[in-house]
Structure 1
Amino acid sequence: MATLFQGKDHAQVYAQSRPSTPPELISRVLNFLREQYTGDLHLAVDVGCGSGQNTFLFSEHFENVIGTDVSGAQIEVATTSRNDKPNVTFAVHPSHEIPAMDGSVELITAATAAHWFDLPKFFAEGDRVLRQNGVMALYSYNMFPRLNFVDENGIDKSD
C-alpha cells in the first residue's frame, strides 16, 4: 500500500485533488506551539508531505520549512509545481529519518500521513530532533481517535 503514492502520474493527480488543510487548524497548531515554545521559529518539518500542500502553509511562520516523503515522485511534484517560497525545501526520506540536527526543530507536522508510519520509530526520531518544548502535530480526516494532551500538573490542555 505504501507504494500507492510512488508514481509520477498519481503524484500529479494527488497534488490537484488533495483537500487543503483548513487555515483554522494551522492557526490552532501555531497557537499551541506558541504556548509551549517562546523562542524564534527557525525550523518546521512536514513529514509525509506528499506534494507539499501542508508544507507551504508554514512558510510564513518559520525561517525554514522542510517537507519529507518516501515518494520521489511526490517530492518532484512538490518541488516543481509551486515552490515559490525560498525557505521551503523538500527531500526524500522515510518518516523515521528526519533530516535535521538533534534538538533543532520547533514543529513537526504530519497531515493525513501518520497512518503510514512506523510510529515507534517516528516518535523516537521526533524526540531526537525536537527542541525542548517543541511540538509534534499529527492531523487527519478523522482517522485518529481524539488525543488529550495533559500537562505536567495533570491538566487537560486539549482545547
Structure 2
Amino acid sequence: MSAPPASRPTASTEKTFSAYNAEQGKAYAAARRDYDPSLYQLVVDRHRSTGGRFDSLVDVGCGPGLAARALAPHFASVVGLDPSDGMLATARALGGATATSQPIRYEVSTAEALGSELSPPVPDGSVDLITAANAAHWFDMAGFWPAAARALRPGGSVALWTSGPIVTHPDMPNATAIQDALERLRSEYLSPYFVPGNRIVHDRYVDLLLPWDVEDPRAAEFDRDTFFRKDYRPDEKFLMGIPEADLDTFEAIMATGSPQTRWRQAHPDDVGTERDVIRIMRREIERLLHEAGVEKGKEKVKATVCGVLIMIKKKAE
C-alpha cells in the first residue's frame, strides 16, 4: 500500500539542470542515452488504444529534446518545455520535425506553468499527450497536475517515465563486488548531495504524487481507472546504448547525474583529478575488474536499468 499523501516526498524546484549553460547542455546530450524505440512505441500505442488523438504533444522538462524528437513524427504539433536555456540551446540545435514537417517549438517554461505564459501560450484544452522523460521527479507535482488538466483536451494522456537506478549487469566480471563498491562510494561521497527527486527516482516513482493525492479540484479531472504502470525488468529494453560501455563513456554518463554534478560544484578544484568522485568510482571498477582477470585497457562496464512508465488520462467528455 502506498503512503498517504502527507508523507510522500516532494521535489523542490530543480536547480541543477535548470542552471545548465549551453556547453553543459551539449555535454549532457552527448552522454545521455536515448530511450529504446519500444518504450516510445508503447506510449504511442497506449495513447492510441485509449482513444487519444495525435494533433498536439507537449514534452515537459524536455532537456535536449530526446523524447520530443522521437515522438514528433506521430504528432502534427510538438512543443518542448524546459526551464534551462542551456538545455534548450542544445535542443534547438538538434531540431526535429513533426508529422506535418513543422519544426519542434522549444520554449522556456516550467512544469507548473506548462506554457501558459508563452506568446503564443499553450492553449487550454488543446494538448493530446503530455510527456516527461526522466523529469517528473523534479516537478512540483501538486502544481503540475492542475496545469496538465488545464492544457489537455478531454481524453488526453499524460506519460511519465524514469530510468530508475542503473546497476551492474550480472554478466559483468566481479559484478557483485563492483555493485557493492559503487553503493559504498555513493553513500560515502554522494549521499549529502541527494535531494528528494533522486530518492523518488531510486524508488521508481512509487512515491510520486498522483492526481488523486492533490487537493486542487482540477486534478480530479484525471480518470483513476485509466492509470497504467509498467515496471521494466532488467532483461527488458529501456535505454539504448546500455548495457556495455568503456570507462571513458562511463565517466561521461556518470557526470550527467545530478548528485555528481552537485558534488563537483562543491569541489571545483577536484574535478577531473584523481580526487574527483567519478574518477574514484572508475578506479575502483578498474581494480575489481583487474582482480577478476580483465586485462588493462580492456575494461568495460555492463549495466542494466529497471525503469518505469506511468500513464494516466484526463476524463473524456
- State the one-letter code of the partner of 2:143: K
Query: Which one of 141, 162, 167 corresponds to residue 119 of structure 1?
Result: 141
- State the one-letter code of the partner of 1:70: P
- Name the count of aligned residue pairs: 153
Query: Which one of 109, 112, 137 corresponds to residue 96 of structure 1?
Result: 112
Question: Does the 8 Å CA contact 2:59/2:81 hold for their aligned counterparts?
Answer: yes
- State the one-letter code of the partner of 1:77: T
- State the one-letter code of the partner of 1:53: L
Matched ranges for 1:5-154 at <5 A:
5=17, 6-39=20-53, 41-80=54-93, 82-85=94-97, 86-99=102-115, 100-142=122-164, 143=201, 144-145=204-205, 151=225
Structure with the higher fraction of residues in helix conformation: 2
- State the one-letter code of the partner of 1:4: T
- State the one-letter code of the partner of 1:68: L
5+ residue gaps, structure 1, are: none
Runs of 4+ in 1 over 6 A off after TM superposition: none
Normalising to structure 2: TM-score of the pair?
0.45
Instruction: Summarize the Cα distance change of 1:90–1:50 in structure 2 as closer, same or farther, 3 Å threshold.
Output: same
5+ residue gaps, structure 2, are: 1-12, 116-121, 165-200, 209-222, 231-317
Question: Does the 8 Å CA contact 1:150/1:158 hold for their aligned counterparts?
Answer: no
Matched residues in 1 for 2:148 and 2:28: separation? 26
Matched residues in 1 for 2:62 and 2:32: separation? 12
Matched residues in 1 for 2:86 and 2:159: separation? 25
Instruction: Summarize the Cα distance change of 1:70–1:157 in structure 2 as closer, same or farther, 3 Å threshold.
Output: closer
Instruction: Summarize the Cα distance change of 1:38–1:141 in structure 2 as closer, same or farther, 3 Å threshold.
Output: closer
Deviations 1:67-114 (A, max 9, x none): 00000111111001x214233110000111122111100000000001
Matched residues in 1 for 2:145 and 2:90: separation? 27
Matched residues in 1 for 2:160 and 2:52: separation? 21
Matched residues in 1 for 2:127 and 2:29: separation? 26
Instruction: Summarize the Cα distance change of 1:38–1:9 in structure 2 as closer, same or farther, 3 Å threshold.
Output: closer
Deviations 1:22-62 (A, max 9, x none): 111111111111122254x1110000000111110111100
Identity %: 31
Matched residues in 2 for 1:105 and 1:89: separation? 14
Deviations 1:4-28 (A, max 9, x none): 2222221110010111011111111
Matched residues in 1 for 2:44 and 2:57: separation? 11
Matched residues in 2 for 1:78 and 1:25: separation? 21
Secondary structure of the corresponding residue to residue 57 of structure 1: helix
- State the one-letter code of the partner of 2:92: T
